[in-house]
Structure 1
Amino acid sequence: MLVTGASTGIGRATTAALVAARFHVWATVRRPVDAESLRAEHGDAVTTLVMDVTDEAAVRDAGERVVASGPLFALVNNVGAALPGPLEHLPLDVFRRQLEVNLVGQLAVTQAVLPALRASRDLGQDARIVMIGSIGGRIAGPMLGAYNAAKFGLVGLCGSLRAELAPSGIRVVLVEPGRVATPIRSRGEAAGQVVSDGMPPEALARYRGQIDDAVANARRSAVHGAPPERVAAVVVRALLDRNPAPRRVVGRDARVAAALVRALPHRVLYRLTAARR
């Protein structure tokens, strides 16, 4: 098993759940200190890889190491970030960074380890890819335009991968959580503050209400969101079920949002998601 973004949140919880299920896990992190923490917690059950998914050379090197070790049963593409701000004033380098982390990086890691997944299939064993998406890939709102763009893109990426890899017997599953209590929210708030600090005063005044609402929502998610272990349990089921559903929504809020998207006309959805301030 390979789990990306394993230092905190869903990635760390998924790593722990897989170790508990007696799997060996390759776990990617960006900082050596996080690698040390995972090794201290799980010992030889985890092999850490220090890399940033936006660093093509690092991803390629990590992939070569995984492929050289033999067949790989599954890849869990979890790494992600939330970089908020009004699209009108969002620096393009921030927008690109969001896509690089949440979309391009997912494909880079997948390409790097697909030979190992194919090796598993060549031996008559299973092989699966689980992408961690978001309910933000089904319904979009203000201040998270870059994040939503990446998550909507991930839906398309998964759909095409699923179709292309089906003849090879490699399953692709998209897990779409709602609010989850992870550090991505606090890190996103800090990133959003940097964007706000760079906005002209009149623009900041124009968007002040929406920014404050987004910050309040992020703080509520950090406190009242589902524990990452709940998402990890769904990931494990997606890896072990004989015939997993292609898309799995996690959390009551996500299930409600998904039902609304299916049931309501676009005009009504636009009214529901439009900011009032």
Structure 2
Amino acid sequence: MKPSYVVTGASSGIGRACVAELARRGAHVWASVRTDVDQKELEHAYGKAVTVLRMDLRDPDSIAACGERVAAAGGVRGLVNNAGLARPGPLEYVPLEVFREQLEVNVTGQLAVTRAMLPALRRAETARVVTVGSIGGRIAGPMIGPYHTSKFALVGLTDSLRAELAPEGIEVVLVEPGAVATAIWPRARAAADEIRETLPPAGLERYEAQLAAAERSAARSARTGVPPSRAAEVVVKALTTRHPAPRYLVGRDARLAALLARLPFRLRYRLTAAKR
């Protein structure tokens, strides 16, 4: 019988690459997407190797329904918590509803999906939960504070889940990519343009230089980031290797940032502070 896995955020980027890699290895994949177009594309590309789930991490009912559907079909060996979003902007002016949405999707949504899939995971002989975090959960900079906040919170969530599920033999792994060449960067740049339009004159004067620097960084990440397939290889390794590490870094920039995160606080904050 084919091993079965659940991958959220499977329409593009790392999630789509995970689906491709697992299907290539002969696995069955439950792939979550939000739109009809994405569902049809996956079904056309992979046929019976993929069963599409319609899930929105902001909709608890859709998450619960997907969990029940997967559990009714049998056990799954692994869950990949990949779905997420990035909301940029100065924390002084980011609308609180936008900040809440960032946490709802990137933190609360990850827990909701994990809880929904635990019955199916417990039906497998061995099971893994692999969460796609970010090196942005180790070191923070300006203009993507909501995203950094969510990724730092995800570290605590993953560590606690790892401790709580250890007695059942369900291993929990955090994958921390650096820049990956996905659509998240153009989306973040578009969102930055929207933030700029809503800033009051004083806010625009105060933060324009930082916003421009963040946009240049996003453009560079989109251009030079590792391909999603590279991140997917690490995720699948975490799912399938006999003794997975608790954390995996992806990309040279992630490894460098991990070293930076170990510097004394004063030096680290001096290096990451915005410049005038």
TM-score bin, normalised by smaller chain: over 0.9
Equivalent position of 2:63 in the other structure:
59
1:1-277 equivalences under 5 Å are 1-120=5-124, 125-262=125-262, 264-277=263-276
Query: Matched residues in 2 for 1:193 and 1:100: separation?
Result: 23
Query: Matched residues in 2 for 1:4 and 1:196: separation?
Result: 31
Deviation at 1:192, TM superposition (A): 2.0
| SS of residue paired to 2:261 | helix
| SS of residue paired to 1:131 | strand
Percent identical across equivalent pairs? Answer: 59
- What TM-score, normalized by structure 2, do the two folds share? 0.97
Unaligned runs of 5+ in 2: none
Equivalent position amino acid for 2:170 in 1: I
| SS of residue paired to 2:123 | helix
1:24-76, CA deviations, whole angstroms, 9 ceiling, x for partnerless residues?
00000111100100111111100001121110011111111011111111000
The answer (yes or no) to whether the contact 1:91–1:195 under 8 Å persists in 2 is no
Query: Matched residues in 2 for 1:42 and 1:116: separation?
Result: 23
Equivalent position amino acid for 1:61 in 2: A
Query: Matched residues in 1 for 2:222 and 2:100: separation?
Result: 25
Query: Matched residues in 2 for 1:253 and 1:276: separation?
Result: 21
In the TM superposition, structure 1's runs of 4+ consecutive aligned residues that sit over 4 Å from their partners are: none
Deviation at 1:223, TM superposition (A): 1.1
Query: Matched residues in 1 for 2:187 and 2:39: separation?
Result: 20
Query: Matched residues in 2 for 1:93 and 1:191: separation?
Result: 14
Equivalent position amino acid for 1:273 in 2: T
Deviation at 1:205, TM superposition (A): 1.2
Query: Matched residues in 1 for 2:190 and 2:148: separation?
Result: 18
Equivalent position amino acid for 2:219 in 1: R
- What TM-score, normalized by structure 1, do the two folds share? 0.97
Query: Matched residues in 2 for 1:10 and 1:208: separation?
Result: 31
Query: Matched residues in 1 for 2:193 and 2:116: separation?
Result: 34
Query: Matched residues in 2 for 1:114 and 1:217: separation?
Result: 38
Count of residue pairs the alignment pairs up: 272
1:156-195, CA deviations, whole angstroms, 9 ceiling, x for partnerless residues?
0000000000000000000000000000111111122222
